[in-house]
């Protein structure tokens, strides 16, 4: 490209259909990057939260003390995320059932476990929100780009049909603009696919640690129920 057509000219002179495809791909790319950054913030903070809460939980602190600290944080307008939510839901239910004077230990355990399951599924839902969007962008935007390419090449060959003399100069700009659409599609798709795979692995790790924690916690509660 040492003469004439610059990138801007290429985009501005493209046919309307290809321009629409390029616009769609550009916004898809921006949206996918928004999701990538936001998910990264959420998932990395969740992972950090798992480590810090596990440290606090296994430090031998009294469980009711831990619960009170959490309530204090809630009053200070700080968000409570991840594992602590599961702990709080289970512990709250456990304490409430005990105060109501439920004698059946199994019933108390069941109630606590159910509350933890609910909290767990809420947390999981929070974590995997919008990840599906990344997957969609990753798989669809190459096709969208390809669609633009097909339309662009079709247009340039239709233009060629009306020419008496078929020269490379007639088709070259059209093919260049068409290929640019494919390039944009790939540009949007590659980061989205990479991020989706990375975040799926991270999500698996975090949720499995949640499940492990809730099992461990329910075993502790179980001990408490049956020791009394």
* Contacts with other proteins, residue ranges (CB under 8 A): 1-3, 6-8, 26, 29-31, 33-38, 41-42
Q: Please, which residue, 193 or 225, has the CB nearer to other proteins?
A: 193
Rounded Cα distance, 215 and 228, in Å: 20
Nearest distance in Å: CB 35, other proteins? 7
Nearest distance in Å: CB 188, other proteins? 10
Rounded Cα distance, 54 and 33, in Å: 31
Q: Which residues contact 31 (CB under 8 A, 6 or more apart)?
A: 133, 137
Nearest distance in Å: CB 39, other proteins? 8
Nearest distance in Å: CB 227, other proteins? 41
Q: Please, which residue, 78 or 166, has the CB nearer to other proteins?
A: 78
Q: Please, which residue, 108 or 192, has the CB nearer to other proteins?
A: 192
Nearest distance in Å: CB 10, other proteins? 9
Return phi, psi of residue 111, to 5°.
-60, -45
Q: Please, which residue, 141 or 214, has the CB nearer to other proteins?
A: 141
Q: Please, which residue, 129 or 226, has the CB nearer to other proteins?
A: 129
Give the burial string for 197-224 (b: 16+ CB within 10 Å, else e). eebeebbeebbebbeebbeebbeebbee
| Residue matched to tokens 């499995």 | 208
- What's the distance, Cα to Cα, between the start and end of the chain in Å? 82
Looking at residue 1, the DSSP 8-state letter turns out to be: -
């Amino acid at each position: 490209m040492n003469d004439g057509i610059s990138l801007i000219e290429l985009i501005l002179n493209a046919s309307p259909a290809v321009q629409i495809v390029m616009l769609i791909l550009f916004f898809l790319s921006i949206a996918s990057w928004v999701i990538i950054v936001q998910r990264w913030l959420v998932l990395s903070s969740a992972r950090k939260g798992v480590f810090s809460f596990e440290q606090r939980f296994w430090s031998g602190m009294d469980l009711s003390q831990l619960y009170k600290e959490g309530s204090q944080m809630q009053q200070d307008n700080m968000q409570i995320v991840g594992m602590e939510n599961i702990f709080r839901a289970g512990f709250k239910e456990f304490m409430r059932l005990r105060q109501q004077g439920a004698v059946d230990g199994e019933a108390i355990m069941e109630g606590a476990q159910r509350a933890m399951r609910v909290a767990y599924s809420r947390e999981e839902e929070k974590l995997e929100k919008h990840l599906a969007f990344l997957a969609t962008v990753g798989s669809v935007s190459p096709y969208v780009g390809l669609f633009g390419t097909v339309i662009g090449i079709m247009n340039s060959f239709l233009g060629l049909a009306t020419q008496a003399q078929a020269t490379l100069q007639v088709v070259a700009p059209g093919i260049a603009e068409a290929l640019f659409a494919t390039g944009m599609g790939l540009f949007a798709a590659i980061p989205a696919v990479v991020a989706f795979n990375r975040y799926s692995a991270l999500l698996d790790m975090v949720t499995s640690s949640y499940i492990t924690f809730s099992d461990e916690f329910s075993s502790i509660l179980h001990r408490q129920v049956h020791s009394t």
